[in-house]
Every structure is written in C-alpha cells, then in structure tokens.
Structure 1
Amino acid sequence: MLLVGLTGGIATGKSTVSGMLRDAGLPIVDADVVAREVVEPGTTTLEKIKLAFGPSVIDNGVLNRRRLGDIVFSNRQELARLNDIMQPAISRAMADKINFWRMQQVPILILDVPLLFERNYEKDGKIDKIIVVTTDEATQLERLKLRNQLSDSQARNRIRSQLPLKDKVAQADYVIDNNQDQKSLTQQVAALIENLKEIAANDNTN
C-alpha cells in the first residue's frame, strides 16, 4: 500500500485537494475528522481538555472550538498543553484507520494531516510520498480571515502556530500550487493522481 501524506498551510486549499482525491476514488484518512471524533461528548480526551482549560470551553457537553482556539492560538504554552492531550489520542485513532485500509489491500491511501510535519509523521518511515498544497501569504491570510471570520491578528496567530509553508514545500515530493484558478488546480491534481497510480502499480510492498 502506497501511503501518501497530504498537508499544507491553514487556508491554502488542502481540504479542496483532499476532496478531489476522494472524488477520484482514493480512500482518505482525515486527521481533522479524527480530531473531532476523539473529543466527542463523553470521551476521555474531552474530559482532559475540560480539566486543563476549564468548563468554559464546553457548551452543553460539546467542545466550543472557537473559545478553545482563542485560548491556545495566542499562547504557545497553552497550545502545547492542548497538543499533549490531543495528539496521543489522534495518533492511536489514525493508526487504527490505516490498519483498516491496509487490511482492505487498497493500492493508495491518502493521509490528510494539516500538521504532518509539526507532528513528525514524516519521520516514522511509514509515509512514502508527501503532497504539500501551497499559496502565497497574502492569499492565505485573506482566505483564513474570510473563512473563519477572524481579525487580522487572530488569523496571523493561527498561521504562525504552524511550520512556515516554505519549509513544508522544501520537504515535499509533490507541490500543488493553489494560487491560480480552478482549472489549473484540477489539472495539477489529475497529473498527481496518474503519477501516484503509476507508482502504486509498480509497488511490490502490498
């Protein structure tokens, strides 16, 4: 099974690319979905967050992500504390999902992980190829402000909480430039899929 990491910066269009790969029939393990699953009402992880950050981040048993984000994205220590709670739970759940797809003997599996480099997924030796979706800084900032209804400083704090895009691009096997129009993006993704299928067809590690 060819294990392919998909990442990018916040608001660069990674989720759009992930959707296009899914539409092409490639199975996806989405770390954002997993991150929501591990903090569903009644989970141990949600209780740990409540103990660490106080009951104000919980509304009727449900995590208030915006309130928690306001706390952690303006304070690196608080962000590190949240990651110490979240990451072990996410990693366990991700491993379970990867094993499921491996048992299905799919030729290609996409790991959609926003913080792929920040969480050192690329260093465990299991990811075969890495895709990075990128855009210019000004476009990224404006997209994030509009999408999440954030002020300029709030958006910049979220961007600064991640590894700089140029550092991610430097470690990529494939770079998808999402600065252009939809036609360009579609063409880039189509070429990527063909390349991955060719590699998977010649991969004898299944």
Structure 2
Amino acid sequence: MIKLGITGGIGSGKSVVAQLLQLSKIPVYIADEESKILTNTSPIIRKQLISLFGKDIYTEDGLNKKRLASYIFNNPEYLKQVNAIIHPEVNYHFQEWATKQQSEICAIESAILFESGFNQYVDYSLMVYAPIEVRVMRVLARDKASREEIIQRISNQMPDEQKKELSDYVIYNDDIHALLPQIQDLLSDLSSR
C-alpha cells in the first residue's frame, strides 16, 4: 500500500484536495481531527499532559483547550513538549488505521506534515499550493479573523517554498489550474509506482 502525506498552508485548500481524493476512493486520515479526538480519548496523552500541566488540564468535557493554549502561547518549550506527547500517538493511530484500509493508496492530511515528522512515515508527500493573497482571501471568507491575524498565522507556518522543496508532488490550487486533472495525474503516477 502507498501512503501519501498531504500538506499545505492555511487556506491552501488541502482539505478540498483531501475530499477530492476521498471521492476518488482514496481513504484520507485527517490528522487535525483525529488528534483532537485522541487528545480526549488516549490514556497515554491524558496521563502525560496531566503530568506536565496538572489535573486541571482536563475537565469533565475533555481537554481544557483554553488552559492548554495559555501554557503554550509564547512558550516554545511547552509547545515542543505537547507536540512530543501528541504527535507519536497520532502517528501510531494513523499507522493502525492504514493497515485496515483496503485500497492501494491511502493518505494523511496534515498541515504540519514535515514539522511533525509524519513525512517519515509516508511513501510520498504532496503539497497543495496557493499564492498567499488567494489564501488570505479564502481564510477571510471562512474564519472570523482579521487580515493581520491571518498573515501572522501564515508567517508562523513553514514557508511554502520550503514545503515545495520537500514534497514529491505539488498541486496548484490557485483558482487558475483545475484540480481534478491534477489529482487524476497524481493518482495515475502513484498507481504506476
């Protein structure tokens, strides 16, 4: 089975590409969604976060996101420790999930594919690319965030050029290039490997 890692910056359209792959019968593991579930359900993550931050990091409803955010905001060391707790569990869960798939290709969508090290556990990586201005306009239309906040979020992510260099494939989601032919070409190339 071929494992494909899908990444891209905020507003690039990686979720749209993931959905189009799913419509093409490619199972896609959405790392962001799964990590939120695991943070609340994994006894390993729970134990380690409580050890790091105390019992108040969880409430009856699950992870106390505001409290966690207050710890990791502007504290790179805490962020690094939290990632070191969550990322291995997400990777383990993805690997288990992948073994249960019946297709020749499966994928993981992760905004932080390279930053998290998930790229080490896939066979190929795909970056969804869109120019910054297109990304900003998409996020403005989608989120309740100011232009400045969006630019700040983009600047906190790995630069697109770096992701492009690290990726095996690039799909251009720039409102100029059609997505479906690019996805068909990608799947055709992967199937021939």
Which of the five TM-score ranges fits, normalised by the shorter chain? Answer: 0.7 to 0.9
Q: Is the 8 A contact 1:133 1:178 kept in 2?
A: yes
Name the structure 2 match of 1:38: 38
**Gapped regions of structure 1 (runs ≥ 5):** 200-206
Q: Is the 8 A contact 1:73 1:157 kept in 2?
A: no
Give, in whole Å, the separation in 2 of the partners of 1:155 and 1:74. Answer: 17
Name the structure 2 match of 1:80: 80
Q: Describe the SS at the equivalent of 1:26.
A: coil
Check 1:29–1:143 CA distance in 2 against 1; reply closer, same or farther (3 A cut).
same
Aligned-residue sequence identity (percent) comes to: 26
Over the residues paired in the alignment, what is the CA RMSD in angstroms? 2.9
Check 1:62–1:154 CA distance in 2 against 1; reply closer, same or farther (3 A cut).
farther
Check 1:56–1:141 CA distance in 2 against 1; reply closer, same or farther (3 A cut).
farther
Name the structure 2 match of 1:129: 124
Q: Deviations over 1:53-85 (max 9, x none)?
A: 577865652335577557645443342232122
Taking the TM superposition and a 5 Å limit, the aligned residue runs for 1:12-31 are 12-31=12-31
- AA of the residue aligned to 2:187: I
- Aligned pair partner of 1:185 in 176, 179, 186: 179
**Gapped regions of structure 2 (runs ≥ 5):** none
Q: Is the 8 A contact 1:132 1:168 kept in 2?
A: yes
Check 1:154–1:71 CA distance in 2 against 1; reply closer, same or farther (3 A cut).
farther
Equivalent residue pairs, number: 193
Q: Deviations over 1:94-152 (max 9, x none)?
A: 22112323xx4x31111222211112233x3x532211001112222333344332234
Give, in whole Å, the separation in 2 of the partners of 1:92 and 1:42. Answer: 11
Give, in whole Å, the separation in 2 of the partners of 1:157 and 1:81. Answer: 23
Normalising by structure 2, we get a TM-score of 0.81
Check 1:171–1:41 CA distance in 2 against 1; reply closer, same or farther (3 A cut).
closer
Give, in whole Å, the separation in 2 of the partners of 1:74 and 1:155. Answer: 17
Give, in whole Å, the separation in 2 of the partners of 1:153 and 1:138. Answer: 12
Check 1:127–1:42 CA distance in 2 against 1; reply closer, same or farther (3 A cut).
closer
Give, in whole Å, the separation in 1 of the partners of 2:71 and 2:95. Answer: 29
Q: Describe the SS at the equivalent of 2:116.
A: coil
Q: Is the 8 A contact 1:73 1:161 kept in 2?
A: no
Give, in whole Å, the separation in 2 of the partners of 1:70 and 1:137. Answer: 29
Give, in whole Å, the separation in 2 of the partners of 1:63 and 1:56. Answer: 9
Q: Describe the SS at the equivalent of 2:136.
A: helix
